[in-house]
Structure 1
Amino acid sequence: MTDDIVLNTVIHEPSMTAGEVEMLMFALDRSRATFAWKCGGLDAAGLNRPQPPSTLTLAGLLKHMAAVEERYTIDFTGEAPGPPLDTPEAADPEWVWRSAADDSPAELYGLWQGAVERSRAAMAKALADGGLDQPAKYTAAADGTSPNLRRIVVDLHDEYARHVGHADLLREAVDGLTGEDPPQ
């Protein structure tokens, strides 16, 4: 039940006294690495295996997290969406979950990796241009306010924290892989 595609699971731990930006980015990247480890190396059968009664799969989680990375990036930058949010089907909130079964492991891993790379690049540019306090390019709240980059990073990390737990249970059911952090 394995695929030859290797996902980056390296964790670069900062100093215990690192600043806010470095710690926030470390927490996000550590969650990304753990997610990659839990989802990585599986073939289509492994990625699409649910754990009943849930219909959740690792394939669905990969596509969902690619969409989440993309959404947070475009919300902050104001740029046009890339895959998978650039299709008419993406307007349906259940589309990523349903359509993931039709994607190959290479497509799913590539989609997620591409979204993570775009997100990292956008965040690095934003941090260099003004730090965590700068507002997003969209209005999120009814009162007309926009979240700042700090809020976006924290929300993205929260999304990973939620789904790494799901991925952990799903992966254990596929092949018995367990653990908190990927081997370094």
Structure 2
Amino acid sequence: MSDFPRTHPPADADETTMLRSFLDFYRATLLRQVEGLDRAQLARTLPPDHPTTLSLGGLVKHMAGVEDWWFGAILLDVPWEEPFGSVDWDSDPDWEFRTAADDEPAYLVGLLTAAIERANAQLDRLESLDVLAARSQHGRRPNVRWIVVHMIEEYARHCGHADLLRETVDGATGF
């Protein structure tokens, strides 16, 4: 039994329920993909002929930062949560992927689950998907609907990466 149960999104629900259900499904999928792995397994990248910093641990750390960026810094204009807020992203754009190899699995999972809890609390307080973000990103001010759809896209893409990475770690598939 997984510590991260997944519920398939409903086939007939209002827009908010549908979008949040898909987001929760992909969040749980990523957490299940790293469940039970040790630090070395989370740090593993694709075979050496594919130089990359992409690892399961890096994906978890990245998504923790992405959750806090969109649902905190952009949506509410609050300072970006640490450890992300003090990173010099211009000089180290892959910081979360590069540094995740030094982090313990429990820390990485805790970082992501705490970011998800903050994001859910922020979403719970909003009255509508039409609420505009407090800050602009790339010259536009998205509404909550756009942010949630973007997060679904972000998780779906990275869950695909995680499928491949997890299979190289221990052959596990079907998350």
Does the CA contact (< 8 Å) of 1:84 and 1:111 recur in 2?
no
Structure 2: gaps spanning 5 or more residues: none
Specify the code of the residue in structure 1 equivalent to 2:82. Answer: P
Q: Could you tell me how far apart the structure 2 residues matched to 1:22 and 1:40 are?
A: 26
Partner in structure 2 of residue 70 of structure 1? 68
| CA gap 1:168/1:140 in 2 versus in 1, 3 angstroms | same
Correspondent of 1:42 among 37, 43, 57: 37
The separation in 1 between residues aligned to 2:2 and 2:89, in whole angstroms, is 25
Runs of 4+ in 1 over 4 A off after TM superposition: none
Indicate yes or no: 2:12 matched with 1:17: yes
Q: Deviations over 1:50-98 (max 9, x none)?
A: 1121421111111111111111112101111212222234553211111
Q: Are 1:177 and 2:172 matched, yes or no?
A: yes
Pair 14,101 (structure 1): closer, same or farther in 2 beyond 3 Å? closer
Structure 1 residue aligned with 2:161, among 159, 163, 166?
Answer: 166
Indicate conservation of the 8 Å contact 2:40/2:101, yes or no.
no
Provide the aligned length of Structure 1 versus Structure 2: 170
TM-score for both structures, normalised by structure 1 = 0.85
The structural deviation recorded for 1:7 is 6.9
The CA deviation string for residues 139-158 of structure 1, in whole angstroms up to 9 with x for no partner, is 2353xx41000000000110
**Residue in 1 that maps onto 2:79:** 80
1:117-138 per-residue CA deviation (whole Å, 9 max, x = no partner) reads 1111111112xxx210010000
- In structure 1, runs of 5+ residues without a counterpart are 1-5
* Cα distance in structure 1, aligned partners of 2:103 and 2:138: 35
Q: What is the aligned partner in structure 1 of residue 115 from structure 2?
A: 115
Residue number in structure 2 paired with 1:101: 101
Q: Tell me if structure 1 keeps the 8 A contact 2:10–2:21.
A: no
Specify whether residues 30 and 102 from structure 1 end up closer, same or farther in structure 2 by C-alpha distance, changes over 3 A only: same
* Shift of residue 11, structure 1, vs aligned partner: 2.3
Query: Partners in 2 of 1:8 and 1:54 — Cα distance?
Result: 32
Distance in structure 1 (CA, Å) of the matches to 2:2 and 2:86: 25
Q: Alignment partner of 1:134: what SS?
A: coil
- Read off the aligned partner of 2:158 and give its amino acid letter: H
Residue 8 of structure 1 deviates from its aligned partner by 4.2
Q: Quick one: percent identity of the two aligned structures? A: 43
